[in-house]
Amino acid sequence: MTEPKRYPSAPVVLPDSSDYQEPAPVEGCAGCTELAKVRDWARASGDYTTVTDCNVFLRRHPEGH
């Protein structure tokens, strides 16, 4: 059996996400336009879970653009 650590570990370094850009809707695509609209409404109402979901759906758009 190993002896438990009795000293602090090195700090965890998280990636810098300050330059993160949300996916942009493709012009002329009704699905992208609708997702962007829902994302804007969700952000305005403080529903950041839906904002994140819309970003994921925009990145994984089924038409692959």
Helix axis angle, 48-59 to 30-45, nearest 10°: 160
The one-letter amino acid code at 61 reads H
pLDDT of 9-27, one tens digit each? 888 898 887 788 899 998 8
pLDDT value at position 1?
66
Structure tokens at 26: 């493709």
pLDDT at 57 > cutoff 70: yes
Q: Is the four-CA dihedral 8, 9, 10, 13 of positive or negative sign?
A: negative
What does the mean pLDDT of the chain come to?
Answer: 88
Q: What is the mean pLDDT of residues 42-50?
A: 96
Prediction pTM value:
0.68
Cβ neighbours of residue 14 closer than 8 Å, sequence gap 6 or more: none
